[in-house]
Structures are given as structure tokens and as C-alpha cells.
Structure 1
């Protein structure tokens, strides 16, 4: 065999660089999926499958004890004829529309205070963030309820200052402010995000505004808010979605009934009552998917409108 023929034969058997890169990429892909497999299994079993199952159950009559019976759109039609469903939607809407802006305003105000240079800055940050570490848990809801009942600490403070006495828990006109106060009290997470955003605002902008004679209000409106708009949008989106999902605090404070007079009948609480107290799982599944659609629509609107007021670094608008 000639040397030329031997070289050609040896070259045909040798792996090409492209084939080696492809094999390496396949090994990396397999390794990536292997590391992702616990999350993928959990997502399929704990999220994707329950969502598909609930979508099917939304079109059935199912009480957890008998096989589901297909009823089509009857559950969705029954929603808007249900007085308590309408009430739960209104209660949740008030909580979202009033509580979320107040919580974000408090978080931004405290973040701006903490952004100033002073002694013990780290300690103050820890103190303000501490309530968010606990969150709206069952224990916090129990303490909150004890504070606002008749002859509780809030009632005693009211009596001390000569204000009308009486607990907030049993007063339908005061339960919503009480729930909003509980939400605002845990403003630590958005506060930290606002504080991180404030650290990124160039000091030169404030110095230039001071030279031009701008006051504190003008600096806030013309510099701070525009520069914080991406952070504000993120917090607004996140807190709006979280507000729609409030459950544990309403369950504990109302005793699982939504009282008094359905003033704490939040949407998720009524969903729980229908599904796990009255065992109408088909109806509860329909409620769940209505909530998914509403939250998805609000999210889409926020993203669409953000083009007019959210300004990113390097944006030419």
C-alpha cells in the first residue's frame, strides 16, 4: 500500500473536530439534564400535573369522594351567580388596590431614609427587614389577632388616648385596615430591593440638580423615580401577585370563615372553603383558574403599560 493510500485510510478513521465538539456538547447536555432532573421531576409532579388535573376538574362535579362527573361550563356560570364569590372578589380587589401601593410607598420611604449615611446603618436595616423574615405566617397572624381583639394592646392604646374603644377583629369596618397594616408591616423585601436600586443612582445627577436649584421634591420626581422605575416595576409586579394570594393571615384572623360579615373573605380563603370545607372541588378548581386568568391579564397589562413609564439604562426614549 502506498503512503498516500495509507494516509487517506487513516484520515477516514480519525474523528473530525466537528464530531468531537458535537460529542462533547451531547455529554454536557446530558450532564445538565441530570442535574436538573430533581427539579424537573418536582415541577412535573407538584406543579404541572396538578394544574392540568385542576383544569379538568374545573369542568366537572367532584366532591373528593365520588368520581368526577363532566358538567361543562356549569361551574364557571355558577361563579357569577354566587354572592360570596362576588364579595370575595371585591374584598381581594380592595386589598390589592389599596394595600399594595401603601406597602410600596412605605418600603420606598424607609429605603430612602436608610440610604442616608448615618451611624448604625446596618443595624437599622436589619431591624426594618426582620418582619419580612417571619412573613405573614400563622404565628404572626395569631399575634396580630391578639393585638387587635377587644381589650388587646391596640384597644388599650385607643382607650389611653381617648379614642373609641373596641377591637378591630369583630368590626367589619376595621378588618380591612387591619389586614392592610399587617401587609405593610412586612415591607422588608421590597425595601431591600429599593435600597439596592438607590445605590445605583449616580450622585452626580443630584449634584447637578442642586446646582440648577432643584429642591428635594423635584429631585425625587425627576431623578429618583425615573432611575428607580425598573425596580419599582419589579416590586409592583411581585407585590401585586403576592397580594392576590393572601390566605394564612385571613384564615387565622377570621377563624376560617371570612367574617365578620365576610369582611375578610379573601378570594383564596373562599376557594379553600369551597374546596376543602364544602368539598366542592370542581367549583374550587374553576375559581383557581379564574384567578390564574385574572392575574395573568393584570401582569400583561403591567408589562404593556410599563413601556411608557419604565426607563432602563441606555434607553433612547
Structure 2
């Protein structure tokens, strides 16, 4: 009986794995780094999406812990992820390479140019929203639409002090948990991973979904040194005044219970961009595509469909 059950479980596991979309991988060569890319969906005449993940210091992996991007949205158009310089598959930087906003924007432009299309739909998640916004300010001619998903504040340095003002008890409790976890870490890398997981436990609306997410994501591709370097480089970046000049369709998505990017930030961003659409996710924290996947896929697909364009 036990061997039969084991055999059934193996078959179920194999079937589930076979259903996981596998990306087409590639490298985009730049003077500083070879950027690893991960493309989901088949080539088509529909405008492709470039997904810009958050962090900073995370790879794209945290965004693909369900099938919202890799299947439900990639069913209609290609979705291209890339690992930002210093993370994931893009860790080998030229000695002396910087983490400035200009360097990050140039990397994103290199990924866009590799697609051989003039305009792209951009999705920026968390810190990735700030980077996507910086790209949009520098290269508006290449932006077909912009989606900002629980995006960092346009002034990066304003984000975390704001969190401590709005949620002082939560932030203090999280810091206390992190301090306790440090006592159980055997290395700096393990301590950084424990920090990250404690932070993730703060940014979910559903504790059950948080537990499932963390159990199924053993490695989030965190590079703490890169995250620190990017945070320092972006400390004085402020795009607030530039958003009034965005003239492409923009969708702003916000989890109502996001303790990582407070809802007032997304409200302000949406009202700073002409014609921007703001959609609230009432049962989500920082990752609404994981906590409310059906609604998220529907909202994004409809927005893109409403503004669909084809290219030669």
C-alpha cells in the first residue's frame, strides 16, 4: 500500500512539474554585465511586456511563485523577466561597474532593444516600479503602457521613514523578530535570508498564503550587498515632478493592506500621472498577484487589451 501511494505521489508531482511553464532563457550583453532574461509565452504581434522586479537585491524569482505572469498573462503576449545587475543570473559585473539609476535604466533599455520592437508594456513591482518609472522618464518613446504594482515611492528615500510613521508598532515588532533570528544564523548570508523572510511575513494580508509562499520559495535570489548598493545609489532619486509629463496609459495597482508601500503612496502616484487608473485589491498586502491572482490577472489583461497594439 505504501509503495502504491508513493508511486501515485510521484506521478502527481511529475504531472504538476510538467505543467509549470518553462521560460526561454537568454543573455543580453552590455559593457558592464550579461543580463539573464526569462521569456514566457509565444512570439506574437502583440506588444510584449518587460517585468521589472523589486528588491532591491532580489532576482525575478519572487514574482513567479504562481502562474499569474507565466501563464495567465503570458497566454496572450510574451512576458520577459530579467535579473537586474548583481542578482540571480546577472551577478558577474565588470569590476568597477556601478549601481546608479542611469546604469540600471541603461540595462533596461538594453533588454528592450534586444526585443527589436519600438514600444513595450512595462510592469514595475515594488522597487521595480521606481526603476520602471525612471526608465519611462528617460525613454518615453519606448513605453506603450506602464503598470505600477505596489510601487515604491517616486522619492525612494521617503519610503521607509514613512513606514515607521504609519506603522510604528509593526515595524518595531518586525525589527525585534529580526534581531532574535540573528541569534540563530550561522553566517551573514543566512542572517540576510532570515531578515528577508521576516520582512515577507510583514507584507502579506493572509498569514496562510504567506506560509504557503515562503514554503514554496526556498531561494528568493537575495543578494544583500547589491541591495545595499542600489539603495544607496537611489537614495536621492525623486521622480515626483516628472510623472506629470507621462503621456502613456498607466495602471496603478495597490494592495489595501500593504505594510511595505503604504496605500497613500500609490494614491499620490496615480493622481500625479495624467489619466492614470488606480485599482485597489481589498484582500492583499504587498503582493496582490499572489493573494488575489484571479482579480490581478483579469485587471492586467483587461488593461492591456484596452490598449492593445501590434507591431510588425
Report if TM-score (shorter chain) is over 0.5: no
Greater relative contact order (CA < 8 Å, ≥ 6 in sequence) = 1
Normalized per residue, the structure richer in helix is 1
TM-score bin (small chain) = under 0.3
**Structure label with greater radius of gyration:** 1
TM-score by length of 1: 0.26
- TM-score under structure 2 length normalisation: 0.26
